[in-house]
Amino acid sequence: MKGRYIAGIDVGSTKICVMVGRAGREGLDIVAAGTVPSQGLRKGVVIDIDETANSINMALREARSASGIDIGSAYVGISGSHIKSAESYGATGIREKEVRQADIERVIDAASAIYVPLDREVLHVLPSEFIIDGQDGIARPLGMAGVRLEVKVQVLTASHAVLENLERSLDRAGLKATEMVFQPLASALAVLKEDELQQGAVLVDMGGGTTDAALFKGGTLRWAGVIPVGGANTTNDIAVGLKLPQKEAERLKRHYGAGQEKVNLFETEESIEARSMSGKPKQISQPELARIIRMRMEELFEILKTDVEPQIIKHQPLCAVITGGGSQMRDIAGMAEGWLGIPVRTGLPERVRSTVLRETVRDPQYAAAAGLLLYGLEREGGDLIRESPLADSLETVKRTMAEQGRALARRLFGRMRRFPAEGA
């Protein structure tokens, strides 16, 4: 049996990454990835359909030639500060005095019936807890006895125009979106550990154009927010501050990017060679570079904290997990710890494996793409593994990493926006 293929596409402001995974007996195996710099996007949002379509096309072609698989549809990760989360609530009677799937669907439907302005669309409806006859904190109500079922949900909405433009770009590249998935949800699937999901963690996906945050607790999403500041701002600060071309600023940031622990650089006054606008070599002071980076990062976390701090106080998470390309900056976890006031670790997509790409995909910049595959596995491949001869041992002995990811997805994503929206 050769298994089934699942594709995910992370459409970011910096890069577009198409990932292909094969769902087989041993779980999910990433067989190919195509990554290209993204054009036509700004802060997670399409500003030029043709350019975006072109980039998508190139990433697709790369993934196609690496995997030999024709990719017609994919799970699409989206971001942007147009995405907002809000709480909602629904209630219904339990028909047979025992909660059935239909009761769960009905109560979630009731909670989904919120006012959504015409220019917005519901992206996800994520149940955070069920209440049966006044008993709260129920995660899995199926089969429980009672007469009244209530649910608290997080509703994530997105700008209709933004979704539409992304869909058009995909369309032009010949790719169908199976579903649109809020990127940090996908990243969380790939990087968060079980106890972090249960006891609480803030996931911070540090991209080029946006920084996306999501708080998980009790196995579900409690809050999400996107700020329109990211690694590209840091690069720009370096370029402007040190009068360097963007490309050179980016290189210095990645190579020398330093934080707190490098404070002693102020004393060493080390200088580094860079290429100036005219192409001539130019001496740059490393402490100055560190200062520019630190100032921007400090500002970014200050903005983030305004949104996240009330949530930290409310949910008391164990830690924050940073991921995405920006989390590769040297010492960033240590700096973030000081700014957020909770422990911070860097999250790699550890819930996926790859026989061909091996360690390449264990990189925070692939967290969202890998998470999309885990998400897709749950949505469409759930039965594949259950049907396999290994099913019994999988159930009783040890669940594979991908299996854990699937169970996770089931809890995290109660219901999703089908794309194009059904009946909408």
Ligand X SMILES: Nc1ncnc2c1ncn2[C@@H]1O[C@H](COP(=O)(O)OP(=O)(O)O)[C@@H](O)[C@H]1O
Judged by beta carbon, residue 169 or residue 365, the one nearer ligand X is: 365
Residue 366 CB, nearest approach to ligand X (Å):
8
The Cα 335–Cα 258 span in angstroms is 10
* The length of the chain, given as a count of residues: 424
Q: Residue 7 is inside which H or E element, if any?
A: strand 4-11
Judged by beta carbon, residue 108 or residue 332, the one nearer ligand X is: 332
Judged by beta carbon, residue 366 or residue 413, the one nearer Mg ion is: 366
Residue 358 CB, nearest approach to ligand X (Å):
19
Residues of the shown chain interacting with ligand X in the complex, contacts defined by CB under 6 A:
12-15, 207-209, 230-232, 235, 250, 253-254, 257, 324-326, 328-329, 365
Strands 73-78 and 176-182: parallel
The Cα 264–Cα 287 span in angstroms is 8
Residue 307 structure tokens: 């949104």
Q: Could you tell which of Mg ion, ligand X, none binds residue 208, using a CB distance below 5 to 8 A set by kind?
A: ligand X
Contacts of 167 (CB under 8 A, 6+ apart): 177, 419, 420
Residue 393 CB, nearest approach to Mg ion (Å):
36
Strand partners, 184: none
Residue 129 CB, nearest approach to ligand X (Å):
31
Q: Could you tell which of Mg ion, ligand X, none binds residue 345, using a CB distance below 5 to 8 A set by kind?
A: none
| 216 closest CA partner among 412, 415, 417 | 412
Q: Could you tell which of Mg ion, ligand X, none binds residue 154, using a CB distance below 5 to 8 A set by kind?
A: none
Judged by beta carbon, residue 13 or residue 159, the one nearer ligand X is: 13
Q: Could you tell which of ligand X, Mg ion, none binds residue 257, using a CB distance below 5 to 8 A set by kind?
A: ligand X
- HSE-CB of 30 using CA atoms within 13 angstroms: 30
Judged by beta carbon, residue 141 or residue 325, the one nearer ligand X is: 325
User: Is the CB of residue 23 less than 8 Å from the CB of residue 377?
Assistant: yes
Rounded (5°) CA angle 59-64-69: 145
Q: Could you tell which of Mg ion, ligand X, none binds residue 39, using a CB distance below 5 to 8 A set by kind?
A: none
Residue 156 CB, nearest approach to ligand X (Å):
18
**Largest interatomic CA distance in the chain:** 79
- Give CA separation, 89 vs 21, 48, 156, 238, in Å: 36, 38, 14, 46
Judged by beta carbon, residue 45 or residue 175, the one nearer ligand X is: 45
Residues of the shown chain interacting with Mg ion in the complex, contacts defined by CB under 5 A:
12, 207
Residue 220 CB, nearest approach to ligand X (Å):
24
